[in-house]
């Protein structure tokens, strides 16, 4: 069996950043999957489930309500390794194309006040496993340590 593309990425040298994970074609349409890597794999602690779950709720809400990207948003959700998120957009994009969008999304999460969208037993299968203060903390950390000073090394996978 062949390794899937995400298992061929050199996780030993991977920095936090925004990476194009893959591009898939559905007919003539391109779908771009982004790796929003928030922590350095195998070097920094992974994120806990409650804050990941909260970022998922807020990030998906932000994207699906965005004036430009709502209709292009296919998916936003966590990586199983708990070091980041996948964002899938309809269209042919490069990492640099979505830096502003990702920055806006994490500023929204950092600054969010109020009830987490979908935090009820009717709307979510695990509504008690949310942590807004920690979600805001990790969003701020990603902004300050990566997004506000993003460089080429944070936009292209290491070889």
Where are the chain's structural domains? 5-150
Among 124, 22, 123, residue whose Cα is nearest residue 74: 22
- Residue 153, exposed/middle/buried by CB under 10 A (0-12, 13-18, 19+)? exposed
Pick the CATH number of 5-150 from 3.90.180.10, 3.30.1360.80, 3.30.300.30, 3.40.710.10: 3.30.1360.80
Q: List per-residue pLDDT tens for the chain, 159 residues long.
A: 887 777 878 888 999 999 999 999 999 999 999 999 999 999 999 999 999 999 999 999 999 999 999 999 999 999 999 999 999 999 999 999 999 999 999 999 999 999 999 999 999 999 999 999 999 999 999 999 999 999 999 999 988
Tokens of 11: 């996780």
pLDDT, position 143: 98
Helix (H) or strand (E) holding 140: helix 132-145
pLDDT, position 132: 98
């Amino acid at each position: 069996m062949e390794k899937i593309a995400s298992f061929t990425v050199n996780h030993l040298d991977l920095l936090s950043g925004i990476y194009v994970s893959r591009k898939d074609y559905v007919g003539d349409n391109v779908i771009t999957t982004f790796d929003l890597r928030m922590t350095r794999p195998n070097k920094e602690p992974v994120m806990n489930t409650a804050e990941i779950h909260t970022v998922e709720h807020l990030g998906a809400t932000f994207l699906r309500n965005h004036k430009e990207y709502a209709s292009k948003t296919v998916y936003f959700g966590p990586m199983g390794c708990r070091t980041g998120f996948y964002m899938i957009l309809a269209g042919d994009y490069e990492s640099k194309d979505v830096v502003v969008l990702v920055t806006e999304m994490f500023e929204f999460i950092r600054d969010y006040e109020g009830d987490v969208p979908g935090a009820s037993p009717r709307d979510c299968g695990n509504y008690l496993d949310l942590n807004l203060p920690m979600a805001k903390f990790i969003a701020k950390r990603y902004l300050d340590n990566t997004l506000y000073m993003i460089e080429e090394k944070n936009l292209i996978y290491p070889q």
